[in-house]
Amino acid sequence: MIRFENVTKTYPRSTRPALDDVSLEVERGQFVFVVGPSGSGKSTMLRLVIREEPTTSGSVLVAGHDLGLLAPRKVPRLRRQIGTVFQDFRLLPNKTVGQNVAFALQVLGKPNRVIKHVVPETLELVGLEGKGRRMPHELSGGEQQRVAIARAVVNKPAILLADEPTGNLDPVTSLDIVRLLASINANGTTVLMATHDNVIVDEFRRRVIELADGKVMRDEAQGSYVPRP
Ligand code: ADP
Ligand code: ADP
């Protein structure tokens, strides 16, 4: 589903690479935790997958397509297959919960009759049934992150990228959010989650890719936050 082939990314005006000769493959349906200290390259890895940034050398392939060869006009089609969730939720503050989710479909030109049934269905999927008319600021942090997840998956993307999705949440709410991501994964969506949360990683025991200074230090199936002794 996602393949990195000798990927190096050096940002303009930067002296050291944010990612340094990274090669890896994520299979369809996998759930992967990307761990490592701040600045180790986790966000950069996710940004390359949605082609928010080009690589400096090497190739990123998504669903068989080499993103370096993808015409700019085809980038929106790529991004439609990928949902994204962030630490700070990034909801539209002046739209209702339902409108936030509906907006993701409106920009794709989906007809209103489709939006009308898909939005409530998706809110139910994330545990927010009946909350479509609330404003984001009326919701708890965990609920706001559920809205963001609903928006990310409403178009049934093949891949869900989550960058520190529990970074602003308490431990109990964090577990609920990752349970939700795991259930979305169980329905076939490939999930890549960058995180600092050792409790979560140790609870869920999924594949762990550990980065340090832009290099893959460890890649373990059913891994833990720190290497096994
Ligand atoms: P992480 O997500 O693990 O905190 P990042 O991918 O954000 O790591 O950052 C990796 C490295 O790239 C860091 O040294 C960071 O300062 C640098 N970096 C990230 N984004 C940019 C940018 N837009 N311009 C220049 N340097 C950047
Ligand atoms: P409620 O229980 O208040 O009816 P639901 O949880 O069933 O809310 O979700 C419906 C929500 O979906 C509505 O609040 C509305 O904001 C949103 N919605 C549905 N279709 C559209 C649309 N075409 N444009 C904007 N928002 C929509």
pLDDT digits (tens, 9 = 90+) for 99-141: 999 999 999 999 999 999 999 999 999 999 999 999 999 999 9
Q: What is the mean pLDDT of the chain?
A: 97
Ligand closest to Cα of 215 equals: 1
Q: Which tokens belong to 138?
A: 């009326």
Q: Which ligand is nearest to the CA of 35?
A: 1
pTM: 0.91
* Ligand 1 binding pocket includes 38 (Cβ within 6 Å): yes
- CA 43 to ligand 1 centroid distance, Å: 7
Ligand 1, atom nearest to 19 Cα: 10
Ligand nearest to the CA of 130: 2
Give the nearest ligand 1 atom to 45 CA: 6
Summarize pLDDT for 209-218 with one digit per residue, the tens.
999 999 999 9
Residue 229 pLDDT > 90, yes or no? Answer: no
pLDDT in tens, 64-75: 999 999 999 999
Q: How many angstroms does the Cα of residue 117 sit away from the middle of ligand 1?
A: 40
Rounded to an integer, what distance in angstroms lies between the CA atom of residue 105 and that of residue 142? 23
Cα–Cα distance, 142 to 164 (Å, whole number): 13
Query: How many Cα neighbours within 13 Å face the side chain of 67?
Result: 28
**ipTM score here?**
0.77
* Span 19-76, pLDDT tens digits: 999 999 999 999 999 999 999 999 999 999 999 999 999 999 999 999 999 999 999 9
Which ligand is the nearest neighbour of the Cα of 163? Answer: 1
Q: Which two tokens stand for residue 97?
A: 């919960």
Give the torsion through C-alpha atoms of 41, 42, 46, 48, to 10 deg: 10
The helix or strand, by DSSP H or E, that contains position 146, with its residue range, turns out to be helix 141-153
- Counting from 1 in the atom list of ligand 1, the atom nearest the Cα of 53 is 23
Distance 209 CA to ligand 2 centre (A): 38
Q: Cβ of 207: how many Cβ atoms within 10 Å? A: 18
Question: H or E stretch including 192?
Answer: strand 190-194
State how far the alpha carbon of 164 is from the alpha carbons of 32, 97, 114, 193, in Å: 13, 21, 31, 7
pLDDT for residue 50: 97
CB 132 within 8 A of CB 119: yes
| Centroid of ligand 1 to alpha carbon of 105 (angstroms) | 31
The residue to mutate among 101, 112, 119, having the most atoms of ligand 2 within 8 angstroms of its beta carbon, is 119
The contacts found for 222-228 with CB under 8 angstroms, 24 or more apart, are 223/33, 225/35, 225/198, 225/201, 226/198
How many angstroms is it from 99 CA to the middle of ligand 2? 7
Pocket lining: 124 vs ligand 2, CB cutoff 6 Å: no
Residue 9 near residue 55 (C-beta atoms within 8 A): yes
- Beta-sheet strands, E only, within 36-138: 57-62, 65-66, 82-86
